[in-house]
Every structure is written in C-alpha cells, then in structure tokens.
Amino acid sequence: MISFFRWLGKFLKHMTAEPTGALLKPGDPGYQEVHTLSSNLDKNIKIITEIFGLCDDLMVRGLKIGRGKKQVRVAVIYLDPLINHTRLQQGLMHCLQTIDHLPSMGVTTEWLINNALSDGRVIEKKSFVEITDEINRGAACLLIEGLDQALLIRLAEKIGRAVEGPVTENVSKGALDAFNEDVRTNIALLRKRLHTTRLAVENLQIGELTKTEVKLVYLKGYVIEGLVDEIKSRVRRIRIDGIVDSGQVEELIQDSAFSLFSLLDSTERPDKLAANLLEGKAGLLFDNTPIAIIIPGTLINQIQSPEDYYQRYWFSSWIRVLRWLALLTALLGPSLWIAIITFHQELLPTELLMTILVTREGVPFPGLVEALIMELSLEVLREAGLRLPQTFGQTISIVGAVVLGQAAVSAGLASPGMVIVVALTAIASFVIPTQPLSNTIRILRFPFMLLAASFGLIGIIVGFSILTYHLCSLRSYGIPFLSPLAPLSFGDLKDTFIRAPIWKMLFRPRLTGYREPQRQNPDQRPHPPSRKGKKFIRRRK
C-alpha cells in the first residue's frame, strides 16, 4: 500500500515536473565548443565533418580555383540528398572552375559573390551553428583557404509533390489549388492572390531538432491590433524537440486547452486563407504541412465553406440554412429520437406511433442501448473506411451501411426508425465543411444521448444550455468564439445564417476588421447604365 502511494507520489511529481531535456544546449552530442570559423581550411572541414558525425551523406569536395601559383584551395560541403545537382554544377562548380584571374589582393568573399558566383541565393556566415543549420536545409557551403567566412549557396532541391487539389475541403465551384508540404510554394500560392506590399510574411521557427519553418502572414494595417505580437509570443514560448504537423502547434497555441472545440481554423485552401487575411485575421503556414492555421477562429467560420461566396447568394443562403439544420441534426438527431420514443410519445402522430410500436416490438434493448449500438458501429465503420485503401473504402461503406443496417433490423437488434435516424445523423455530419467541428460534434452526440435517456427533452435542453454556456465563454485570441452571434453584432449577421450579396457586404466584420472598416464602394450594386453612382462617403465608426 505504502509503495503504491510512493509510486503515486512519484508519478504525480513526474507528471507535474517542469519538462527537462527538451532543450539542446552546448555540450550535447553534435555540439562543438568552437563557435566561429578559423582561417585554416582543413581545420574548418574537420570540425564540420565532426559535427555531422556519422552522416554518410555529407559530401566534402576539395577544389582549387584560379590558375598557376596563385591557386587557392576551396572546399564545397553539402548534404547529398538535399542538393539539386544540376544547379550545383551550373551555379557553383562550373563557376569556380572557370575563374581565370584571382585578384592580387587575395580572394575575398565579396569578390567571389561579385565576380564568380552566378547563383543568386548566396549568404555569408561565420559560426558553425549557422553553417551547419544551412547545410541541413540544403545549402552548399563554400569554404575558402585563408578566410574565416563561409559562403552558403542555397541549392536545395524542391522535394515534394506539385500543387494539387484540396483533399478535405472540396468545392464544386472555385479554385482547385491547395497548399502542399512546401512552405515556399504555399507562400507563393498566397502571394499569387494578394499582390500587395501589405502582405507581411514573417519567419518563425519551432522545434529544437526539427527547426520547422513557420511563416506568419497577415496584412499590414488591416490585421487586428496586437494580434501579431500575441501570436509571436505564443509561438516563441514553445520549447519542444520538434513538431511535424501544424496540428501539434495548434494545440500549443490555442486558448482554452481543455475545450472540445478547435479554437483556431485550419484550411488547406489558399483562397480561404486570403479571404480571412482580408478580414483582418492572421495565418500561420508550416513547412511540411499542407494545412494552414487561421487565427483567430470562430464557430461561424467553421461552418462556412469558401464556396458560399462563389455561388449565387440565394443558393448560398439556402445552403447555409441547410447546414445549420444539418449541424443540429448531427448533434441532436439520436438524442431527440431517444427522448421522443422513450419520454414524449405524444409528439408522434398516432399512425407513426403505431408503426414504431410494431417495429420496436421485437427489439429487446431500451432505446438508449439500441442507439448506442448503432452509433458505435457507425463510428467504427467510419474510421475503418478512412483507414482502408481507397479502393476498399467504397465497398466497406456500402457493405457497412446497407448490409449491416438491414441485418440489424432483421436480427431484431435495432428498429428501422433508429437505423434511419443514425444514417441521417451520419450524413448530416458530413455536411459540416470543416473536419475539426465535425469531429467535435461526433463526440458531443454521446453525452446528449445519455442526457436524453435520463431526462428526455429536458435533459437535452440542459445539456444544450451547458454547451452554449461553454461556447459563449470561449475566446480565440481575444475574439469571442461565437461572434457575431454572442456578443451580437447585428451588422455582421448578414454573413452568418445567410449570405448577403457581395455588394451588400460593405464592411468587414466588426471585431476583426475594425482597422479598415470599409471593404468596398457603397454603390456597387449593378444598375442600369443610366443611374449615376453615389459618392464614396459612407464610413462606419
């Protein structure tokens, strides 16, 4: 017993202790005491190869440049798999080998940059840390005899796929390019949409070992005041060995850590990111992750699709209303059904009640158990469909949905009504355009089912109250998560349950776009040519 408590104490101590060993400090393996280059070429090469240690893919190539007596020894060091060999050959090797005259004053780095090297992306570095870092990122390091500076030529080969279509955020109308794993490509995709000097791209870095490149993007003068500093401070606070996906960072920088909801929006669509930047938000792009994070996030943003703005507004408004209904169905479908068939049978029309009475006759389980069985098997099916190879995915979903449902009814495990409700719920949850919200709803469905089974609709409304209380209390980087619904800003409602025509959306959202409230000219509504436009005078305070 005592030992158990001792173990528990240790365990708790371990759980609550400050993280150690997350940092790499001087003295750790791979770290050299010598900080900067010396003028001795051989010594420099030796130190670099020592730092890299057991890296067999490190190439060290010695060369002599110039002609005759004045020849100078140089060395090119790079990591073989990262380098684009054509560019290495043309931009570096060839240039070095064709140098005829060396300057009488001796070779300097400026001279090399100015006269010898044709490749544009050259920088000068002195410290080993920086040099090894650049080599790790795919630069070729040029060391010159007698100089205590190294030239680093960035010749990294672009590794990864080309720009492809979005995987999770499909639209039927609209741009078909999506972010991919290369952050430079992603920035390019964004810059292609925002041709303005206002677009700021700031470098951040996360991870002591992975040193993942993170780009903070926003529109200068439009972004919420203080947001950029807050993001930077939160990102810099992260001390971790490494991150491999933006999802990990999301958990580290979002506000309410225990909330079921994802308080930051994520997208793989450059057009969505661009549109959000235009509303005064900021974005984070990650190397090696095709998903960008939009800060701050709101619930409304998560149940909207970029397509809403590309379709006609009547249709988009209709779709949005449908989507809200689907959201409620996905959240409350099974619980409402349980509540009705076990507590509030008077709500059903008499004929339907009779039908249900007959079909439920053989089912041995109470409504809750029946619903749990069906919901759980559906969740399993969904997960299975996701993990299976794509060719099987289709099969399993059909087999699962049709055969299992039918079989469950025939076997008396579930009533047909329940099968319909569960299927409807599943389909409704696919209507929600963003994955995190959809997943949250999938989880929340279960507590609601328990509440419905204990207290009927009263239980559901109590649960719903708690849920909305929670949602009202959430803030994402200072912006209420439920805005513009609560706190209500009436002017912004035209872009929530419905989508007003573009020419009606004169102002940016009040909470995020207040620095430049006006979005467009007020007289944009198409008119017959005879009418004159009004002047550009309306401004909101």
List of residues contacting other proteins (CB under 8 A)? 12, 15-16, 258, 341-347, 349-351, 353-358, 360-361, 363, 366-367, 406, 409-410, 450-451, 453-466, 468-470, 472-473, 480, 482, 485-488
| Cα-to-chain-centroid distance, residue 471 | 22
Instruction: Give the DSSP letter of residue 22.
Output: -
Q: Closer to other proteins by CB, 97 or 410: give it.
A: 410
CA angle 180, 181, 183 (to 5 degrees): 95
Q: How far is the CB of 412 from other proteins (least distance, A)?
A: 12
d(CA 386, CA 405): 19
Q: Closer to other proteins by CB, 167 or 352: give it.
A: 352
Q: How far is the CB of 234 from other proteins (least distance, A)?
A: 20
Q: Closer to other proteins by CB, 487 or 533: give it.
A: 487
Q: Closer to other proteins by CB, 117 or 341: give it.
A: 341
Q: How far is the CB of 385 from other proteins (least distance, A)?
A: 25
CA atoms 276, 203, 261, 333: torsion sign: positive
Give the CB-side neighbour count of residue 532, counting CA atoms within 13 A: 3
Q: Closer to other proteins by CB, 132 or 440: give it.
A: 440
| Cα-to-chain-centroid distance, residue 393 | 25
Q: Closer to other proteins by CB, 231 or 327: give it.
A: 327
d(CA 465, CA 460): 8
Q: Which long-range contacts (CB under 8 A, 24 or more apart) does 460-464 make?
A: 460/332, 460/335, 460/336, 460/339, 464/332
d(CA 338, CA 70): 90
DSSP notation for 285-297: EETT-S-EEEES-
Q: Closer to other proteins by CB, 359 or 524: give it.
A: 359
Q: Closer to other proteins by CB, 63 or 493: give it.
A: 493
Q: How far is the CB of 407 from other proteins (least distance, A)?
A: 10
Q: How far is the CB of 362 from other proteins (least distance, A)?
A: 9
Instruction: Give the DSSP letter of residue 208.
Output: T
Q: How far is the CB of 364 from other proteins (least distance, A)?
A: 9
Q: Closer to other proteins by CB, 160 or 487: give it.
A: 487
Q: Is 34 helix (H, G, I), strand (E, B) or coil?
A: coil
**Which residue has tokens 């140089």?**
74
d(CA 488, CA 498): 15
Q: How far is the CB of 31 from other proteins (least distance, A)?
A: 33
Q: How far is the CB of 365 from other proteins (least distance, A)?
A: 9
Q: How far is the CB of 299 from other proteins (least distance, A)?
A: 11
Q: How far is the CB of 28 from other proteins (least distance, A)?
A: 29
d(CA 319, CA 46): 66
Report whether 499 contacts 306 (CB < 8 A).
no
CA angle 349, 353, 355 (to 5 degrees): 120
Amino acid found at 439: N
CA angle 161, 162, 165 (to 5 degrees): 105
Q: Closer to other proteins by CB, 289 or 512: give it.
A: 512
